[in-house]
Homo-oligomer: A and B are copies of this chain.
Amino acid sequence: MMKLAVDQNNGNAKKKEDAFVIWFTGISGSGKTTLANRLKTEFDKRFIKAEVLDGDAVREFFENDLGYSREERILNIKRITFAAMLLAKNGINVIVANIAPYYEIRDFIRRKLARNYCQIYLKASIEKVMSRDVKGLYGKMMEKGCKNIVGIDDSYDIPRNSDIIIDTDQETIDGSITRIVGFLRKKRIL
């Protein structure tokens, strides 16, 4: 859809009224929060409004009323989707850092955000992520046994329609940001 919009204007589309939702998906430790915050500074530099919605921060707003079961993850993602839709509708770009692990919920997101949605898949091998273990999640898991860790004992459906795929085992953060910014500039989002 986004491609179409640009084609129709011969690549010279003016910035649209509605803003965009850029959603980083990937397993725990794949770098979603890091890249989301780095991308936010690219919006700031250009004085373009953007809000970061980080999965963990959203849980804090709600005083951690939801756990990590499939059903509860879905509820959390729906909250994010609703807020993101309203912000985008009002001209505020949204950068989401959230695992969004299931086809079911990604279908919901796409259905609700339609053409103003852009999905970035952070592809990361579980081995690499475990060796970095930024949140100490995988360490805890080794001590106490698995409990709803996406990529280990909870499923992560491999995204099918990503606008960008970042191979976080190979690409640097700077390299990834350059690629994402290039893509967003082409789409007249940045």
Number of interface residues of A (CB under 8 A): 19
Q: Which of A76-98 contact B (CB under 8 A)?
A: 78-79, 82-83, 85-87, 89-90, 92
Q: Which residues of B contact A89 (CB under 8 A)?
A: 51
A123 smallest CB distance to B (angstroms): 29
A62 beta carbon closer than 8 Å to chain B: yes
Q: A62-B82, A86-B87, A87-B90 are in contact. List 14 more A-B contacts (CB 8 A).
A: A49-B90, A51-B86, A58-B82, A61-B82, A61-B112, A65-B78, A78-B79, A82-B82, A82-B83, A83-B83, A83-B86, A86-B86, A90-B90, A92-B92
A residues adjacent to B (C-beta < 8 A): 49, 51, 53, 58, 61-62, 65, 75, 78-79, 82-83, 85-87, 89-90, 92, 112
